[in-house]
Amino acid sequence: MGLTAADLRVGIERISARINEIERELNAADAKLGDGDTGVMLRRVVEQLVATSSVAPDNVAGAFCAYAMTSSAATGSSLGTLITIALTTASRIAQSEQEVEWNGLGHLLDAVVEAMSKRGGAELGDKTILDGVSAAAHAVDGLSDPRDIRAAILEAAGRALFEYRDRPCRVGRARMFAERSVGLDDPGMLAFFHVMNAALGDSSEHRVPMSTAPAWASS
Amino acid sequence: MKKLLNSPDTYVDDMLSGLCAAYPSLVREQTRVVRSTDAPRKGKVGIVSGGGSGHLPLFTGYVGRGMIDSCAIGDVFAGPTVGACVMAIRAADGGKGVLRLYGNYGGDRMNFDLAGEMLADEGIETTTVLGTDDVASASPAESSKRRGVAGLIYAYKIAGAKAAGDASLEEVTRVAKKAVDHTRTIGVALSPCQIPGAATPTFTLAATEIEMGMGIHGEPGIWRDNMKPAVAIADEMTDRLLVERQTTNPRVSILLNSLGATPLEELFILYRRIAARLRDAELQIVQPLIGHWATSMEMAGVSLSLLFLDDELERLLAAPADCPFWRV
């Protein structure tokens, strides 16, 4: 067994159930580093993904492709386009398969990071969504049990957010006031954290690691 | 914040419907694409632009004869979708290639680049020139990283005039790049704007403060300080542009732009001083443009753009054009 189109549908439904809360969180974070509308953008994309989920193909590659088309039509924002690129890349890696083997998820996420970097121009370490996805890719490497993968992704997304919070942003608008971005979460990394928690976690895990270091941060 | 709208989610589409209803020379090719009724013209190089909403008359207001042929529009302060970029390029294509001419922003770049790659398979040749006129957004040594702001309009006019004369894609691209290279802009913000649907303004400024160099989306500028007399603001803005002048030709065009809420009265108070400052520098002002050219909704403030002319640029600047917000 592996990641299926049905899993994607369930994930989108779970994100949709939390999207208003996520929208507020992301708008608030983006207001400190950008123009305060990252949450609005993501909510609009998720609304369209929900509509697509009822007609998306049953094979995972086709489903990724359908969601990529939907995302590309819903937004042209930088983060939105990176989401489209991620979905397009996932579709390409899945290659017409019914499902993505669990032990192939790390390879898929690595390819997503590479594609987003190539198109968007950011590199690892710049404090962008790439760093969150890359952390998840490394965390699932070698894992094949979906319960372990779920836990690893959630832990990695939170760890990346925590580790990068006190670093300066090196690309995008925030690069121009890099020193002021220290201590703030990058909205793209935060979006990845919230979306993964909504899709994979439960409500008790849906929280941003705050100033007190989580247990794993000292390990 | 009070805004005249029906819903934040329909803000852009309702605006585009009204714009096209007001100006029959504009046609909506698709929800978020606007084309000139003159375009595409067979045998003419097409010019396409685009970007986020919230900046009218930029970008859509300059779709017309002698300017740009089509425009892809995104949500407020967000890039247009890939699909809109594809459609806009097709709408401008008269079989002689299409120049993609837009501001240097990440989302716009990714989507126009993707669209160009997709259309290469259809045989549509495209080139790209990015507006990079905002001197506050990067140092001269990193000028390719600068953002495009109001000075992009000069590139529209220069490239549009060249394309109207049946020049090749290479020539249109060359003069567009030349216009960008000869244009410098700086802005100053007095109060913020707020994106429809966002809970807070794009930035905060104390009632007594201004920010020199702030971008049209609220990107941070060079300094923030207490309000100063208009002459001091005019002098600093002018001097920051003149220091980057690279030509010996004394002719210069000036575009003094309200970011939205700043009235014409205040623009003319500034212009009085800027014009004197330019004369003191032994420059001759050509075709001053004063008004609302590239806004940020209700943001208060101004931007000053200077186009340092040569004979070719001056001739193209004066060439005929007819679009909703520029007529010669």
Beta bridge partners of B257: B291, B303
pLDDT in tens, A177-209: 777 788 889 999 999 999 999 999 765 555 555
**Do residue B198 and residue A121 have CB atoms under 8 angstroms apart?**
no
B199 touches chain A (CB under 8 A): yes
User: CA-to-CA distance for A12 and A52, rounded, in angstroms?
Assistant: 10
What single-letter DSSP state applies at residue A104?
Answer: G
> Positive or negative CA dihedral for A174, A178, A180, A186?
positive
Mean pLDDT of A112-118: 96
B5 touches chain A (CB under 8 A): no
B55 noted as active-site residue: no
Catalytic residue among B55, B182, B217, B292: B217
Which tokens hold the place of B27?
């046609």
Which tokens hold the place of A4?
């299926």
Phi-psi group of B260: left, alpha or beta (phi > 0 → left; psi -120 to 50 → alpha; rest → beta): left
Phi, psi of A95 (to 5 degrees): 50, 65
Beta bridge partners of B48: B70, B100
CA neighbor of B94 nearest in space, from B126, B60, B71 = B126
**Do residue B217 and residue A35 have CB atoms under 8 angstroms apart?**
yes
Residue B267 CB neighbours (<10 A): 19
User: CA-to-CA distance for B291 and B254, rounded, in angstroms?
Assistant: 11
**Do residue A37 and residue B78 have CB atoms under 8 angstroms apart?**
yes
Which tokens hold the place of A53?
């989920």
Superfamily of domain B14-181: Dihydroxyacetone kinase; domain 1 (3.40.50.10440)
pLDDT in tens, B179-196: 999 999 999 999 999 989
- b/e per residue, B174-201, with b = 16+ CB within 10 A? bbbbbbbebbbbbbbbbbbbbbbbbbbb
**Among A24, A72, A75, beta carbon nearest to B78:** A75
- Residue in this structure with the two tokens 């030349």, named with its chain if needed: B178
Identify the three-state secondary structure at position B156.
Answer: helix
User: CA-to-CA distance for A83 and A112, rounded, in angstroms?
Assistant: 9
Residue A34 · residue A42 · CB < 8 Å = no
**Among A37, A78, A119, beta carbon nearest to B195:** A37
Phi, psi of B269 (to 5 degrees): -60, -40
- Residue in this structure with the two tokens 């420059």, named with its chain if needed: B283
Which chain A residue shows the shortest CA-CA distance from B8?
A40
| Regions of chain B short of the pLDDT cut 50 | none
* Confidence (pLDDT) at A168: 86
Q: Please report, as a single letter, which amino acid is at residue B144.
A: S
CA neighbor of A148 nearest in space, from A196, A199, A103, A206 = A103
Residue B220 with chain A: CB contacts under 8 Å: 176-177, 180
Residue B188 · residue B240 · CB < 8 Å = no
Which chain A residue shows the shortest CA-CA distance from B73?
A76
B82 touches chain A (CB under 8 A): yes
Which of B81, B109, B134, B144 would you mutate first to test chain A, the one with the most A CBs within 10 A?
B81
Dihedral angle, C-alpha B146, B148, B153, B155, nearest 10 °: 50
* pTM of the predicted protein model: 0.86
Which stretches of chain A sit within 8 Å of chain B by CB? 24, 27-28, 31, 34-37, 40-41, 44, 72-78, 80-82, 84-85, 119-121, 172-173, 176-177, 180
B192 touches chain A (CB under 8 A): no
Residue B160 · residue B21 · CB < 8 Å = no
Residue A106 · residue A137 · CB < 8 Å = yes
**Among A24, A36, A172, beta carbon nearest to B195:** A36
User: CA-to-CA distance for A180 and A82, rounded, in angstroms?
Assistant: 24
B77 touches chain A (CB under 8 A): yes
Which tokens hold the place of B15?
């605006």
Domain boundaries, chain B: 14-181, 183-317
Please measure the distance between the N-terminal and C-terminal CA atoms of chain B and give it in whole angstroms.
Answer: 38
User: CA-to-CA distance for A90 and B288, rounded, in angstroms?
Assistant: 52
- CATH class as words, domain A2-204: mainly alpha
Mean pLDDT of A62-69: 93
Residue B244 · residue B280 · CB < 8 Å = no
Which of A24, A77, A177 would you mutate first to test chain B, the one with the most B CBs within 10 A?
A77
What is each CA distance from B242 to B12, B140, B307, in whole angstroms?
37, 13, 11
Instruction: Give yes or no for residue A219 having a pLDDT over 70.
Output: no
Identify the three-state secondary structure at position B52.
Answer: strand
Residue B214 with chain A: CB contacts under 8 Å: none
B53 touches chain A (CB under 8 A): no
* Confidence (pLDDT) at B117: 87
CA neighbor of B153 nearest in space, from B64, B217, B59, B242 = B59
Which tokens hold the place of B282?
């032994």
User: How far apart are the CA of A68 and the nearest CA of chain B, in angstroms?
Assistant: 11
* Confidence (pLDDT) at A33: 79
pLDDT in tens, A28-40: 888 887 777 789 8
Mean pLDDT of A80-89: 94
CATH 3.30.1180.20 matches B183-317: yes
User: CA-to-CA distance for A32 and A18, rounded, in angstroms?
Assistant: 22
